[in-house]
Amino acid sequence: LDVMEGEVCLGKVEEIERIGPLDYLLVTTASALVDKGLAATFLIPYIDHFVQHSDVKAKVIHVIGGLDLLEAS
């Protein structure tokens, strides 16, 4: 699944990890963002605060605040 924030593709979900009581999306960062010096992978908590909408048919997860998490990684 592609991880999108607005019109920006942050990367692809590689797997879902459970850490404590929460699930996290392990995201492999898009190469264009890695080329800008950002981390190659990062985690997004699978909670309403970050995940706006999942469209399994279109293979896309829309997030908010994902770029902030990536920049902090």
The pLDDT tens digits of the residues spanning 25-56 come to 999 999 999 999 999 999 999 999 999 999 99
- Cβ contacts of 71 within 8 Å, gap of 6 or more: 38
Q: pLDDT band at residue 9, thresholds of 50, 70 and 90?
A: very high
Q: Contact at 8 Å (CB) between 48 and 65?
A: no
The pTM assigned to this predicted structure is 0.92
